[in-house]
Amino acid sequence: MIGIIGGTGIYEIVTLGDEIDTKVIKTPYGKSPEVSIFELHGKDVVFMPRHAKGHSNPPHMVNYRANVYAMKELGVERIIATNAVGSLEKTVKPGDFMVPNDFIDFTKLRPGTFYDSRTVHVDVTEPYCNYMRRIISSSGDVVENGVYVCTEGPRFETPAEIQMFKLMGGTVVGMTGIPEAVLARELEICYASICTVSNYAASISPNNLTIDEVFEIMEKKKHDLVSLMDTAISKMGEERDCDCKHALKGAEI
């Protein structure tokens, strides 16, 4: 089963498939948002709106553990996430898609692990699934590779923060990518992200940032995003032969 955890702009992927079912999954961490399970290109796919219906949970209040745990419960082996990001690089423009290969975590208040009573140090030398990144990058016009900086939000970043992230090697900045990617790895689920650049970050952009500009770009790019996702799913093989399925090997004390 392939899971999609989507933010703004990807909801209509469900309409491409034959809808089978909608469900809410109970987990030890709380209930998941209502998910839609459907068939696409002969594959079972589940779509989860990250922020729940109507975008009611802001990035710092999303129950990432319940979301990822619910995916595991449903039998998901691969997750494609979508994230809206601001760009730190003039060459990575609003409207571009980027597939990150690494991240820097600046979140502060989010439970970031499933392992509170066992000591598990999961390896994140390759934080995103290489196989899935390759498939997505060959499915459309995307910027391959880049470093995703995750902030706590919900406020946007200051110019000084953006300059610091740039010096550290960041390519884009967002609020929803972490701990989701790490939690997936902790459950040995393959995970890759398609980032949609919605604007330039503070001080890279000549203007103050507004949520309207974010939604405007996401609205403009949503058909391209859905079509990129659709092609990527059609190309994904049945069996996993990447290292993600052994992510816990050697991780536990």
Binding site for phosphate: which residues?
8, 50-51, 176
Q: Token digits for 140?
A: 């459309």
Q: Name the region of 119 (left: φ>0; alpha: ψ -120 to 50; beta: rest).
A: beta
Q: How far is the CB of 41 from Zn ion (least distance, A)?
A: 19
Q: How far is the CB of 54 from Zn ion (least distance, A)?
A: 32
Q: How far is the CB of 243 from Zn ion (least distance, A)?
A: 7
Range list of β-strands (E), the chain: 2-6, 18-23, 26-27, 30-31, 35-40, 43-49, 78-87, 97-99, 102-106, 143-144, 147-151, 172-174, 190-200
Q: How far is the CB of 16 from Zn ion (least distance, A)?
A: 24
For 140, phi and psi rounded to 5 degrees? 175, -170
SS3 of residue 144 by DSSP: strand
Q: Which residues are annotated as a binding site for substrate?
A: 175, 199-201
Report the alpha-carbon distance of residue 53 to residue 51 in Å, rounded. Answer: 7
Cβ proximity to Zn ion: between 89 and 188 the closer is: 188
Cβ proximity to Zn ion: between 80 and 173 the closer is: 80
Cβ proximity to Zn ion: between 57 and 130 the closer is: 130
Q: How far is the CB of 128 from Zn ion (least distance, A)?
A: 9
Which residue ranges make up the site for Zn ion (CB under 5 A)?
A: 129, 190, 242, 244
Report the alpha-carbon distance of residue 140 to residue 232 in Å, rounded. Answer: 9
Helices and strands per DSSP (H, E), number in the chain = 5, 13
Q: Which residues are annotated as a binding site?
A: 8, 50-51, 175-176, 199-201
Cβ proximity to Zn ion: between 37 and 129 the closer is: 129
H/E stretch holding 225 = helix 211-235
Cβ proximity to Zn ion: between 23 and 246 the closer is: 246
Cβ proximity to Zn ion: between 166 and 245 the closer is: 245
Q: Token digits for 147?
A: 């470093």
CB atoms within 10 A of CB 196: 28
Q: How far is the CB of 240 from Zn ion (least distance, A)?
A: 6
- Name residue 86's beta-bridge partners: 173, 199
